[in-house]
Every structure is written in C-alpha cells, then in structure tokens.
Structure 1
Amino acid sequence: MQIESIEIKNYRLFRRAALTHIPRLCVLVGANGTGKSTLFDVFSFLKDALSMNVTKAVAKRGGYKELVSRGHAGEPIELALQFRLEITGHERLVTYLLQIEPDNKGKIVVAREVLRYKRSSYGAPYHFLDFGYGKGYAITNEEDFSKAEEALNREQQELDAPDILAVKGLGQFERFKAASAFRQMLENWHISDFHVSEARPSQEDGFAEHLSTSGDNLPLVANFLYEHHPDRFSRVLAAMQQRVPGVSVVESKQTLDGRLILRFQDGSFQDPFIARHVSDGTIKMFAYLVLLNDPNPFPLLAVEEPENQLYPELLPELAEEFREYARRGGQVFLSTHSPDFLNALHLDEIYCLKKEQGFATVSRAGDSQTLRDLFDAGDLPGYLWKQGLFEGVNR
C-alpha cells in the first residue's frame, strides 16, 4: 500500500488542502499551529471511524462544530485518499472518498462513501462501493475484469445505521474484495502516541508481536523479537550499543511473579539497570528500534516529532531507518522541527505547511525552484530551513 495523494476539505485547519505525489517517506515541517498534528488526526479519525463509528469518532474530537473548519459548520467534511492497493492479485490505483455531515436532526451521518478504481488502463474509474445515508451497493465479482460493466453483480445493502462505514460492514466479507482489502489496510495503520512513562513499567507475562501506539507493551514485543526473530533483535542491540554509550546488553527478563522487565547492561557496572532507571532518550531510542525492526511493517506509520529527547547527532541515522522501514513496505509520515533530521532527507520527501487567511495550505519543498537549485548546489534541507528559506515555514 502507498498513499499517493490526500485531499481534505473542511477538517479543522484544512479548508481545502491537498498533498500530491506523496513518497513512501513523507515529512511535514511548519510553524506551530499550521496543521501538522491535524493531518495526523485525519489518519486517527479514519481509523476511529472504522473501529467505532463516525458519530463516536466525531464526538471524541469535541463534536462536529469543533471538527469542521471554522465558519463552515453548514458544509460537509470530505476526505479523499488515492493509494495503490493489491486487489484480487492486481495492483490498483484506488480512491476512497468519505463525506460526513449532520442530518436535519443534528445526527452525524455518512453522506457519501465511495471506493473506486479503474478496471483497465483506459476509461473512467468504476465505483465498486457506493453508499450514502446507510444505503448503497457493492460489486461482488470485481475480479472478473474482462466482463462488461453491466455483467458485474451489484449487491444492494442497508447498514445498521447511517453513521457506520460501509467498508466496516462489508469489509468483513471476502466477496467484497475492494472493501475487504481497504478495511484490512486501515485496521493496521499505526498512529504513534508513544509515552516513555508507559513504556517503563514492568509488564505482566503475555504475548505481543507489534508495538502498541502508546508503547506500553514494549517489554513483550522486545521479548517476541528476541525469541522469534533473533536477527532483528540483534540489529536493535547493535544499534543501541552504537548510539547509547555503555549499553552492552538489552534483555527482556521474566521475574518470579511472572512480570517482564527491560534490563539494560552498562559495561561499566556489574548490575544491570531496570528500565525505570535509564534515561528517557534511551527508552525512546530502544522503542523506535523495536518498532522499525518489526518483521511485518505497518502499512502506514505516523510519528510526530521523533527527535524529541534524542541527541541531534543520532537523528540522521534515525531518518535513514525510517526510510528503510518504508522501503520494506510501510509508508511513513513524520513531522519535525529538527534541522539535523531534515539534513538527512531529500527535498521531495519534505512537505511544508503554512497558514493563509486562517487555514492551512500544503506544498512540496521540491516544487520550489529556489530550494531545488540550492539543494542541487549542495545545501542541505536543514540548513535551508534554518535560514528561513522554506516559504512560509518559520521555526
């Protein structure tokens, strides 16, 4: 899966904004309050709407009037994602459109939900799922690409409520191929909300393959890598030894009462330090390494300001590890205020957010001829950003 474009209308700071030609590693820069966190919240909103329903996802954000762009409460919120996704053995350029609004009684409903893609290189995209206000249809034999449109089977459906996503209900059934593939992709998005304090405590004995959004299962995931993917765990340990002076061993240790704790061995001391005694930066670096060495990358990984609590000298290597994670199959979205992190990036990986007349706009750094000329001449993006040469982007 790779998202190629995102269009956002009437979602908080995004009155009308679009990201296009999105690479596998996409890094957002901009002054505080320009919409970086709002874009990450768009990802969270879609995942919440799938796992709960649209009404609850909106309520979680303070209600529709708080979510819709200021001064436009009478208009719908619209999100459109274009992405590449494998369906029935074919990679397709798929568009997912979601439009939500209050009905005449003030209840939040899905006014329109469409999943469409081209069946061939020519012609207009075909709607394989099309719903509004809880009713619509989905195609059940979409794998028959050679059939004429009139030969495709449209199955009419009515959802239990008009605030439920059709991809949630229909995506449970294999006969709705596009809906099922999109649902599985969306369910596995990882929007990080990592908290060092939650990663520190010891963990009851259990099993976890993937790091949670908060990082509270870090000892379990470290233990999983150690036992089932020793090559990945060895990479984590080697990186820790290189980047954190004195760290010689990291292990997930089970106590007599069945709890798992992280222990860090310092070469200068005989006794290991339990996680609660090491620095926040050490825990965070270890968590990132565990996350980025996951044998099965999340289809989308979103992390805000990964540079916090880390030494600036470590950031170029961390940026390359995020890029490698993206190469292995997980598209990465990051935000940063760090010139050291930006110095490890290409201009086409950087998107600039700024405010115009109270709303956020988005541009790609590589589309600026001035920045491209300076970059091609040898100047690094972090230096250009620090000099204030990114249009509309203030530190």
Structure 2
Amino acid sequence: MARLEGIRIRNYRALRDVTLGKLWNLQRVDPLQPLTVVIGKNGTGKSSLFDAFGFLGDCLRVGVEEACDLRERGGFQRIRSQGVENEPIQFELYYREEGKARPMTYELAIDLDLQGRPYVASERLRQRRKGQSHGHPFSFLYLREGRGLVWSGLESYATDATEMVMSGSDDFWLESIQEEPESEWIELTDQRHLGIVTLGSLKAHPRIERFRNFLQGWYLSYFSPNSAREVSKAGPQKHLNESGSNIGNVVQFLEREHRPRIQKILNQIADKIPGIQDIRIHRDEISKNLYLLFYSSSFQEPFTHYQMSDGTLKIFSYLLLLNDPEPPPFLCIEEPENGLYHKVLEVLATEFRSYAESKKGGTQVFITTHQPYFVDALEPVEVWVIEKGEDGFSKITCAKDIPFVQNMVLEGQPLGSLWAADYLDAGSVIHAS
C-alpha cells in the first residue's frame, strides 16, 4: 500500500512553511508513521493543516480555481498566508508506493494569473533513477505555465543538463531546453486543472497514473451527525461518503456482499457502546427509504438511526471506515473525539493504529485532536505538536524530537498526560536542547 512519507506546505493560511516527515532533501528524519496525529491548542493551525489535505484533493477533483472557493474557503486571497503577496501556495509530497519502491516527489505551485484567477503555476514529478541511492531525483514530468516535458514509461527521466535548466529561475527556460528521447513536449489547454489529471489517464505514463490514483483515493472525513441521520433511499453503496449520510446504504452493501464484516462491526459496537445488542436494516416497501434499527437490551422497541446519539453514530461510521473491503490509501480525520466519552478514546486510538499497521488494510491514518485521553495511547514518533510562533504562523515539531518528553515516556508517563501538563510546547524543546 502506498504511503505518504512527508509533506511540506508553504503559504497556506497559518502554514507559512511547515514540514512533516521526510522529503527527498531531508533524508535523516523519520518518515510519517502509518498513524500520524497532530495535536495543539485552539488557533495553532490544526484545522488549516486538515484543510490543506482537503484542498489538494479538491484541486485534483474540480481544479484549483473552484477548490479555492469550496468548503467556505473564500477564494485564493483568503487561503494564501497573510502578508504574502508575491509568492504562490506550494505543496511538496514525498510518497512511496510500497516498502522497497523508490519514492517519488510531487511539487505543486498555485498562483494568480494576470486576470487575478488561480491557476497551476508549476507542477513536477521526480524520482531517483534505478540504482541511484543518493543525490537529487530526476524529473519525469515538469510543467510551468501549462507547458513543459513529460517522459513516458517507467525508467525515463530528464538528463542532467535539462534538469539543471528546469531547476533554474529563468523565465525563458522554455527556450533553453530541447526535447530528449522518450520525452514529449506538451501544452495544456486549461491551466486551472492539474496536469496529472490529464496525463494520468494515458497508458504511456504509468508512474503519473499511480500517483494520481493515490491522491485521488484520499478520504477526508467531514462526518456530520445530522447528515448521518438522514433517511436515504434503499440501495447498496460500497463506500461511506465524507459526511456519513449513506451509512445505511454501506451497511446494506456489507450485509449483502461481506456479511462477516458487518457482523464484526456489530460485535465491536456491542463492546464499545453499552446496551446495544443488535443493528438491523429496515426497508420501507412503499417509500423505498432505508432505516437502521438499533436494538437495546433495555427497551422492547428498536431505535432508528436518526434517534441515536452523536457519539454512537460517530463510532459506527468509524468502524465502517475501518472495515471497508476496498480501503482508501490515506484516511484523514479531524477531532474524532467530539461527542465521544473520554474512556472510549484510547480504545479508538488503538483501533486506528491496528488498522493503519495491518498488512490487509494498510491505510495510512492522519488525525488532528486536542484530547489528551486520545494521545495517551500514542507513541512520540506518531505525534506532531503544532504551535503558533512569534510571527503568528504555525510551527510543528515531532514529539520524539523533544528529548525531555521522550525520556518521560520511557519512564512510563503517558504522552497525553505530559501534554496536559504543558510539557509538549516550545519551552520543552528549548529546555531539552
């Protein structure tokens, strides 16, 4: 299963310049873990970080201009970091398809054109050549202003000379490069859509296709209890949507195609939510509406899903995600603790880790939280602490890089308790150094 080993974000809201994990030029740091959790106080940038992942997915799906306006972002000028007027929003993703595969780097820059509309200023995919263990990776896709070169196949890359020209800042670089063997000159007709969307659908570019599929498969949970209470029309659906409004349809699919999985979910719910004995599907033959019926040990008549508590519906939706027969490569959840009893949180964190580390599932899980009980179940290498710097922008540190905290954990102190006691802050880093 593909993994995101590191990401750098620049000029996105509070994220003026933050890096999590490993990059091609930051090789002496640990990659992001199968389970990665970001903690921090209110207003430090957790929501900006979560939204940055969503923004990338939206750029792939609908284009950069529309993505700037979705989810109440308010347009490019609102999401570009304050005080930054002449720099683009930039992303750098360091990703590996499997354990021994050579990692790839994807670089994206989004800026305003002469008409003041967001567009893709540059886009790049690169990878080290076969047998190359160090040094800079070589491009197999490079676009600037919608024009550039793409190298086909699995092992074709730019030459050293072309790579040097493309890496320069000369605005006339297009006039300086020549097409090379196995490369193709391309010019996009729409600079508001990512080049990997178009090129990733062509058989000649399998590397681009695999990366596009990885990014396209990201799942960000915008779960809403009110959406989950909606009464949906009968009909099986494979995957839970981002709001959770099709819970009943996913249960129907699992009941039909993967009965052992749905039984496993029901057993887990019974363990985690006292009093729930059974959950069944009811289809109204007249309206064709679909209902979930929750049977309690205390009452003879069942409750429908729109009568259940926010916490029950949330746990139910997470268990559906963790039992998806075709799981996403990357799962992102913001503040899963909302509406849940605190004693459930350590169990939930353990469930997420088991799922992320599973050889069968293998989905990478990224979570933001401000709940110490959830953090108590985590290891320092899994936790990143986000804070607001003196300049007003976010800065982020992996908890394992705070020696004082690492030593306390080794002595048996839970990580969440250390955070609650204000040990996971800039002062701890300074003290430790």
TM-score tier by shorter-chain length is: over 0.9
State how far apart, in whole Å, the 2-side matches of 1:104 and 1:277 are.
Answer: 53
1:259 corresponds to: 289
1:138 corresponds to: 150
94, 106, 125: which is aligned to 2:116?
106
* 8 Å Cα contact 2:277-2:295 kept in structure 1: yes
379, 384, 404: which is aligned to 1:346?
379
User: Is 1:329 aligned to 2:341, yes or no?
Assistant: no
Q: Which amino acid aligns with 1:348?
A: V
Partner of 1:194, secondary structure, is: coil
2:407 corresponds to: 373
* 8 Å Cα contact 2:50-2:368 kept in structure 1: no
State how far apart, in whole Å, the 1-side matches of 2:32 and 2:420 are.
Answer: 24
- Per-residue CA deviation, residues 72-127 of structure 1 (Å, 9 max, x unaligned), is 122111110101125xx982301000011112332222111001111224253121
Deviation at 1:153, TM superposition (A): 0.9
1:294 corresponds to: 324
Q: Which amino acid aligns with 2:254?
A: L
State how far apart, in whole Å, the 2-side matches of 1:152 and 1:382 are.
Answer: 55
Deviation at 1:231, TM superposition (A): 1.9
245, 248, 253: which is aligned to 1:224?
253
Q: Which amino acid aligns with 2:404?
A: T
Q: 1:177 to 1:90 in 2, by over 3 A?
A: farther
Q: Which amino acid aligns with 1:385?
A: W
Partner of 2:101, secondary structure, is: strand
Unaligned runs of 5+ in 2: 22-30, 163-178, 429-433
The count of aligned residue pairs is 391
Deviation at 1:43, TM superposition (A): 1.0
State how far apart, in whole Å, the 2-side matches of 1:90 and 1:24 are.
Answer: 16
Q: Identify the range of structure 1 (345-354 vs 318-327) with the bigger mean alpha-carbon deviation.
A: 318-327
State how far apart, in whole Å, the 1-side matches of 2:381 and 2:228 are.
Answer: 34
User: Is 1:389 aligned to 2:423, yes or no?
Assistant: yes
1:304 corresponds to: 334
State how far apart, in whole Å, the 1-side matches of 2:152 and 2:100 are.
Answer: 16
Deviation at 1:379, TM superposition (A): 0.2
Q: 1:277 to 1:109 in 2, by over 3 A?
A: closer
223, 245, 259: which is aligned to 1:194?
223
User: Is 1:57 aligned to 2:86, yes or no?
Assistant: no
1:179 corresponds to: 208
Deviation at 1:276, TM superposition (A): 1.7
1:139-178 correspondence runs (5 A) = 139-143=151-155, 152-178=181-207
Partner of 1:172, secondary structure, is: coil
* 8 Å Cα contact 1:140-1:152 kept in structure 2: no
1:235 corresponds to: 264
Percent identical pairs in the alignment equals 38
2:85 corresponds to: 73
1:249 corresponds to: 278
State how far apart, in whole Å, the 2-side matches of 1:17 and 1:144 are.
Answer: 32
Q: 1:30 to 1:82 in 2, by over 3 A?
A: same
Q: Which amino acid aligns with 2:369?
A: T
Q: Identify the range of structure 1 (293-302 vs 368-377) with the bigger mean alpha-carbon deviation.
A: 293-302
State how far apart, in whole Å, the 2-side matches of 1:53 and 1:137 are.
Answer: 21
Please, what is the CA RMSD of the aligned residues?
A: 2.1
Q: Which amino acid aligns with 1:39?
A: L
* 8 Å Cα contact 1:44-1:191 kept in structure 2: yes
Unaligned runs of 5+ in 1: none
Q: Which amino acid aligns with 1:285?
A: I
- Per-residue CA deviation, residues 254-308 of structure 1 (Å, 9 max, x unaligned), is 1212221111011222221111222221111111111111122211111011011
Q: Which amino acid aligns with 1:93?
A: P
Q: Which amino acid aligns with 1:31?
A: K
- Per-residue CA deviation, residues 120-150 of structure 1 (Å, 9 max, x unaligned), is 24253121111111112211122479x9999
State how far apart, in whole Å, the 2-side matches of 1:90 and 1:30 are.
Answer: 34
State how far apart, in whole Å, the 2-side matches of 1:124 and 1:368 are.
Answer: 29
Q: 1:267 to 1:98 in 2, by over 3 A?
A: same
Which aligned segments of 4 or more residues in structure 1 are displaced greater than 3 angstroms?
Answer: 147-152
2:11 corresponds to: 10
1:128 corresponds to: 140
1:19 corresponds to: 20
2:392 corresponds to: 358
State how far apart, in whole Å, the 2-side matches of 1:332 and 1:355 are.
Answer: 24
State how far apart, in whole Å, the 2-side matches of 1:35 and 1:382 are.
Answer: 19
- Per-residue CA deviation, residues 337-376 of structure 1 (Å, 9 max, x unaligned), is 1111111111110000001110000100011000000000
Partner of 1:298, secondary structure, is: coil
Q: Identify the range of structure 1 (265-274 vs 344-353) with the bigger mean alpha-carbon deviation.
A: 265-274
Q: 1:144 to 1:18 in 2, by over 3 A?
A: closer
Q: 1:254 to 1:143 in 2, by over 3 A?
A: farther
